[in-house]
Amino acid sequence: MSTVEAPLYPIAVLIDELKNDDIQLRLNSIRRLSTIARALGEDRTRSELIPFLSENNDDDDEVLLAMAEELGVFVPYVGGVEHAHVLLTPLETLCTVEETCVRDKAVESLCKIGSQMRENDLIERFTPLVKRLAAGEWFTARVSACGLFHIAYPSAPETLKTELRSIYGQLCQDDMPMVRRSAASNLWKFAGTVESAHLKADIMQMFEDLTQDDQDTVRLLAVEGCAALGKLLEPQDCAARILPVIVNFSQDKSWRVRYMVANQLYELCEALGPEPIRTDLLPAYVRLLRDNEAEVRIAAAGKVTKFCQILSPELAIQHILPCVKELSLDSSQHVRAALASVVMGMAPVLGKDATIEQLLPIFLSLLKDEFPDVRLNIISKLDQVNQVIGIDLLSQSLLPAIVELAEDRHWRVRLAIIEYIPLLANQLGVGFFDDKLGGLCMQWLQDKVYSIRDAAAKNLKHLAEEFGPDWAMQHIIPQVLEIANDSHYLHRMTLLRAISLLGPVMGSEITCSKLLPVVVNASKDRVPNIKFNVAKVLQSLISVVDQSVVEKTIRPCLVELSEDPDVDVRYFAVQGLQSIDQVTMSS
């Protein structure tokens, strides 16, 4: 208590506010529970604060959630590990409330506390709590109980362990599907603490029960745990006990279960040796790639590359590649998009020959896909292909697709392609870029959509960074400056935006000689929007150019603008002048 530095009054207010009618104040207080506890001291925290919190289970979910979270780190405030058990009472009540996220947080906090508790306390306090929850009248308690077994189990004596296993077995067969779901999703955690003899007998029995559950949602979660459970078992046991289940699931009636298998299959492969992968999992995976349900194919297609990585190239070419070809022509655009986002990764796995021979046609057909997401997904992974097939082939086949996308009528597609331009420039090099893409970059500056024009300006900046000021001086600046004579004021605004971005990259000299005159000229524009943007740009250029240039060119221009009839122009001009003064003063 002597360590308390905080002033007393705020603490008293916090305590008062724990009971306030305003939820925001209660929430605020709960969030600072540790401060209150420190002020009260360990003894009174144990004897007064914690009992008070234990009764306070009727509050808003938000408050309860905050409380559940705070209590998880409360061990130091109640007097350390030997008193940690007093925290179990309030958390136990929180484990039974109806809001899922509160219960989850309470379970998480209980696990945190339980993992610090002394063995004796675990047996005498924690395990009874788990048993109470598991026998709870409402299913919420039983749901929470499932997540605590892995903490209670390791330190329990033999008889208690047997009991805990049998209780968990009962939870796996609970009447309420919610409890069975929780049991299924926590099974692997519990399994990790169980001795291997019991693992093979009891836990696997539970697992098998869950995999035969009537409720799709329970089976789903059983699948999720498969991989984790498989890793706990010896490879041969895994092959004998888990593999058949998975193979079975991959042909489950419910597409949701198959979807889950498609997502998990790769994980499971890590637990199994190469032989069962070849004989069992590969055929299962191929089936999933050809599933009737598009959702399943999407999930399976998304794992194509990862799966190929654990196979030998021959197997991949022989079994997976034909499926990939089919998927690239799939009727669902989402399947094709999922494939497009990973298929590039197959190139390094298959090697150059197979890539050029087999994969390239697939890339090309995906690049010509009518659905823009598919094309974009391919382009976003260009660097991977480049490494394998080389720039010549790439640019030859890619450029038409890129040009087409650059002129797509959906502006979001154009935006996406602009964002990839720096990557492309990097991959293609200066030569190719000038020929094919330079024009496009300028064209975007005059797009009808603001976001595109803005992105185009940013893109110029990235290009200037990529290829250097000299190149920019030659290929960007002249074209950009021409826009100053454009009749459309929005285009002239884009020019200003581009200048403010390019200035810092180009350096002081070019800015003074080329860019600044254009800006000053624009200050005489007849459109006020242009004029106050001039003021903004000038302000941003202050730090780029020399002090003398500021005084000689920028200041007079701003002074002139500060007498403009338009209020906005005056406002930004004055701001610009102020920042000049600041810079001058600081230097």
Q: Which residues bind another protein (CB under 8 A)?
A: 1-2, 4, 8-9, 11-13, 15-16, 39-41, 44, 47-49, 51-52, 55, 58, 96-98, 100, 137-140, 176-178, 181, 214-217, 252-257, 292-295
Measured from the CB of residue 101, what is the shortest distance to another protein in angstroms?
8
Closer of 164 and 171 to another protein (Cβ) = 171
Measured from the CB of residue 52, what is the shortest distance to another protein in angstroms?
3
Distance of alpha carbon 263 from alpha carbon 284, whole angstroms: 12
Task: Provide the token pair at 524.
Answer: 């005489």
Residue of 149, 65, 158 whose CA lies nearest to 104: 65
Measured from the CB of residue 61, what is the shortest distance to another protein in angstroms?
9
Measured from the CB of residue 12, what is the shortest distance to another protein in angstroms?
4
Cβ distance 96 to 141 under 8 Å? yes
Phi/psi of residue 292, nearest 5 degrees: -70, -30
Closer of 19 and 488 to another protein (Cβ) = 19
Measured from the CB of residue 418, what is the shortest distance to another protein in angstroms?
31
Closer of 293 and 408 to another protein (Cβ) = 293
Closer of 8 and 197 to another protein (Cβ) = 8
Q: Quick count: other Cβ atoms within 10 Å of Cβ 291? A: 21
Task: Provide the token pair at 470.
Answer: 């000299």
Residue of 298, 271, 269 whose CA lies nearest to 282: 269
Measured from the CB of residue 44, what is the shortest distance to another protein in angstroms?
7
Closer of 210 and 464 to another protein (Cβ) = 210
Distance of alpha carbon 143 from alpha carbon 136, whole angstroms: 9
Distance of alpha carbon 302 from alpha carbon 281, whole angstroms: 16
Closer of 253 and 526 to another protein (Cβ) = 253
Helix count and strand count (H, E) for the chain? 45, 0
Measured from the CB of residue 216, what is the shortest distance to another protein in angstroms?
6
Closer of 5 and 158 to another protein (Cβ) = 5
Task: Provide the token pair at 72.
Answer: 């998880």
Cβ distance 306 to 266 under 8 Å? yes
C-alpha torsion 195→199→200→205, nearest 10: 150
Distance of alpha carbon 552 from alpha carbon 11, whole angstroms: 59
Measured from the CB of residue 51, what is the shortest distance to another protein in angstroms?
7
Residue of 189, 183, 182 whose CA lies nearest to 206: 183
Closer of 58 and 370 to another protein (Cβ) = 58
Q: What single-letter amino acid sits at 452?
A: I
DSSP state of 161: H
Give long-range contacts, CB 8 A cutoff, 24+ apart: 101-108.
Answer: 101/61, 101/65, 102/61, 102/64, 102/65, 102/68, 103/140, 103/143, 103/144, 104/147, 105/65, 105/68, 105/69, 105/72, 106/68, 106/71, 106/144, 107/144, 107/147, 107/148, 108/68, 108/72
Q: Quick count: other Cβ atoms within 10 Å of Cβ 585? A: 7
Closer of 39 and 535 to another protein (Cβ) = 39
Measured from the CB of residue 22, what is the shortest distance to another protein in angstroms?
15
Measured from the CB of residue 485, what is the shortest distance to another protein in angstroms?
43
Measured from the CB of residue 213, what is the shortest distance to another protein in angstroms?
10
Measured from the CB of residue 215, what is the shortest distance to another protein in angstroms?
5
Closer of 100 and 318 to another protein (Cβ) = 100
Q: Please spell the DSSP secondary structure of 295-359, one letter per residue.
A: HHHHHHHTTHHHHHHHS-HHHIIIIIHHHHHHHTT-S-HHHHHHHHHHHTTHHHHH-HHHIIIII
Distance of alpha carbon 45 from alpha carbon 36, whole angstroms: 9
Distance of alpha carbon 498 from alpha carbon 517, whole angstroms: 14
Closer of 7 and 565 to another protein (Cβ) = 7
Measured from the CB of residue 142, what is the shortest distance to another protein in angstroms?
11
Q: What single-letter amino acid sits at 17?
A: E
Distance of alpha carbon 98 from alpha carbon 96, whole angstroms: 6
Closer of 85 and 258 to another protein (Cβ) = 258
Closer of 246 and 344 to another protein (Cβ) = 246
